[in-house]
Amino acid sequence: MLHDSRHTFATAVSGVKTGTVGDAVQVVTADTPCRMIHIHAKAGNASNVSIGDSSADASTGQGKLLANGEHYDYPLNNLNKVYLDILTAGDGIDYIYFRD
């Protein structure tokens, strides 16, 4: 059982996602119920990445922009609602999602 001051989780699952320049891509396409995701922009990224819904766009700043090494915690009910957009090929994120 994992917990922080606000939540208790039974399971944590990690993953890695590399984006596609100019296209917002889902972190996962399958139905993946969860309670929260912890997103960490890879330390070696050459530029900012954008996290958000299908309108995430790193070139315009649409979504949550993360510089290399930055992280963001996002409560949500399904991992397939999270999209990633990048400016530089090879950039991406590491993530951990939590579920009951």
How many CB atoms lie under 10 A from the CB of residue 94?
15
Which candidate, 100, 75, 96, places its Cα nearest to that of 27? 96
pLDDT tens-place string over residues 29-69: 999 999 999 999 999 999 999 999 999 999 999 999 999 99
| pTM across the whole model | 0.88
DSSP annotation of 43: T
pLDDT tens-place string over residues 65-90: 999 999 999 899 999 999 999 999 99
Q: Which domains does the chain have, with CATH numbers?
A: 2-99 (2.60.120.770)
Q: Which positions ≥6 away from 53 have C-beta within 8 Å?
A: 24, 63, 81, 82, 83
DSSP annotation of 88: S
Q: Measured on CA atoms in the order 26, 18, 40, 38, is the torsion positive or negative?
A: positive
